[in-house]
Amino acid sequence: MAMTRRGFLAAPPALAAMALMPSPLLAAVAAQTPALPDLSDWEAVRAQFTLDPAYMHFASFFIASHPAPVRDAIEGYRRAIDANPFLVIERGLFEDEAHNVPLQVQTEIADYLGGRAADVCLTPNTTTGLALVYHGLPLTPGDEVLCTTHDHYSHHESIRLATERAGASMRKIPLFTDAATASTDSLVDALLAGIGPKTRVVGLTWVHSASGIRLPIRELAAALRARRGPPLLLVVDGVHGLGSTDETVAELGCDYFCAGTHKWMFAPRGTGLVWANAENWARLSPTVPSFSDFDQYDAWEKGTAPASPTNANRVSPGGFVAYDHQWATAAAFRMHRQMGRARVAARIRALNDQCKAGLAENRKVKLHTPMPGELSAGLVAFEVEGLSPAQVVKQLLARNIIASTSPYAVTYARLAPSLVNTPEQVERAVRAVREVSG
């Protein structure tokens, strides 16, 4: 439950009377915010971004450029907060549920994830979500967290810090030697073979930013559930699958799903989420005092600890945040709903299929991303014979193509065709790689 009424109860009489009215400030913000534009064709979608037209942007997954509906929502909230910081924030956070803005954001996100608003924890990014989950787990000495050699720095370090604190251990296993030739069966076999007698938690990454492989999380989660032995909790870093695939996150089968929303979802920079069901939230110990859980605040006032089970809001890190950004997250999810999850995924897949097929024709290129669309999403990782990944990226940049290198011990060049790109741009990027490879 969102924290409610506290601000109202604490307010002086004149304010209290105003608080009984429908939230006029937030209604004014809504009135200032333009309706969603027509997003029925991809040129209209591309027109929402103010990306520098001098470049072709193939690294948009790194951090979002805000599209117009998100910019407008941020601007509306910013203006309202700048005009009335106390009234807008106090009411937006603490008024009744009908006017609680974070709850509206959680509701919008839950609609996209296929879950309940109460299961959505708002965070500033993927990294914080992973850290909150691993530090919150009831790990004890002797427990092991199993993850893979392919996970991101933020994931590995969240596990290392949490296991060190708990006296538990971590172990990393490879799920493949060459992502490009992995299959669902080989991935399931490798994961099951890696589980040891002390394993209590498994950490996986949905779409890998190292190789571009998309793990079949449903199948892996089902295999973990079906095996004999103590039940395991599955934590997923889902940041590069959310907003690029047509999946219902709440049905993937994982226990904790952590993602930033400031990459593929185009939500404001500095926004993210963790999704879990009520039973899994109840397992966690919160790390940071919450500003959105009434029971915690109420218990503090009484000098006790909260008696109710941990919930998503209690794990959401408190302290004031950039509310103009956090609240505008809803606009990004509305934009995705209007574009249609299946349509978005099909477009990203078509552009990535085209990119992979084009690169595969180049004998000097080694693709690290699997060709099948079921085992990949919006990232294409590759190497060019005779050139380091950094040299490839530099030479593409000299042709006004923004690519990136993967920030891992073993690094590759990456092109990430997304909604801001066109088939013509993908063709030009493939041609540029051909020129670069000589």
Ligand X SMILES: Cc1ncc(COP(=O)(O)O)c(C=O)c1O
Residues that bind ligand X (CB under 6 A): 125-127, 152, 154, 205, 209, 237, 239-240, 260, 272
Measured N-to-C along each axis, helices 217-226 and 184-194 cross at an angle, to the nearest 10 degrees, of 40
Q: Which is nearer to ligand X, 89 or 258 (CB)?
A: 258
Q: Which is nearer to ligand X, 48 or 154 (CB)?
A: 154
Q: Which of 44, 80, 50, 79 is nearest to 66 (CA)?
A: 50
What's the rounded Cα separation, in Å, for the pair 78 and 392? 41
Phi-psi region of 144 (alpha: psi -120 to 50; beta: other; left: phi over 0): beta
CB of 270 to ligand X, least distance (A): 9
Burial (CB < 10 A; 0-12, 13-18, 19+), residue 163, is buried
CB of 330 to ligand X, least distance (A): 18
Q: Which is nearer to ligand X, 91 or 368 (CB)?
A: 368
Query: Which structure tokens are listed for 306?
Result: 């909260």
Up-side HSE of residue 129: CA atoms within 13 Å toward CB? 28
CB proximity list for 302: less than 8 A, separation 6 or greater: none
What's the rounded Cα separation, in Å, for the pair 436 and 344? 31
CB of 240 to ligand X, least distance (A): 6
Rounded to 5°, the CA angle 242-32-419 comes to 30
Q: Which of 194, 6, 183 is nearest to 90 (CA)?
A: 6
What's the rounded Cα separation, in Å, for the pair 303 and 40? 55
CB of 155 to ligand X, least distance (A): 6
CB of 272 to ligand X, least distance (A): 5
Q: Which is nearer to ligand X, 7 or 212 (CB)?
A: 212
Q: Which is nearer to ligand X, 81 or 204 (CB)?
A: 204
CB proximity list for 235: less than 8 A, separation 6 or greater: 130, 133, 134, 201, 202, 203, 204, 254, 255, 256, 258
CB proximity list for 332: less than 8 A, separation 6 or greater: 67, 69, 70, 261, 265, 266, 267, 268
CB of 147 to ligand X, least distance (A): 12
CB of 368 to ligand X, least distance (A): 15
Give bridge partners of residue 404 from the DSSP assignment: 414
Q: Which is nearer to ligand X, 156 or 349 (CB)?
A: 156
Q: Which is nearer to ligand X, 87 or 132 (CB)?
A: 132
CB of 301 to ligand X, least distance (A): 33
Q: Which of 226, 185, 219, 196 is nearest to 204 (CA)?
A: 219
Q: Which is nearer to ligand X, 93 or 132 (CB)?
A: 132
Q: Which is nearer to ligand X, 99 or 155 (CB)?
A: 155
Up-side HSE of residue 204: CA atoms within 13 Å toward CB? 30
Q: Which is nearer to ligand X, 80 or 213 (CB)?
A: 213
Tell me which residue has its CB nearest to ligand X: 260
CB of 213 to ligand X, least distance (A): 11
Distance of CA 235 to the CA centre of its chain: 13
CB proximity list for 35: less than 8 A, separation 6 or greater: none
Q: Which of 229, 228, 249, 226 is nearest to 237 (CA)?
A: 249
CB of 28 to ligand X, least distance (A): 32
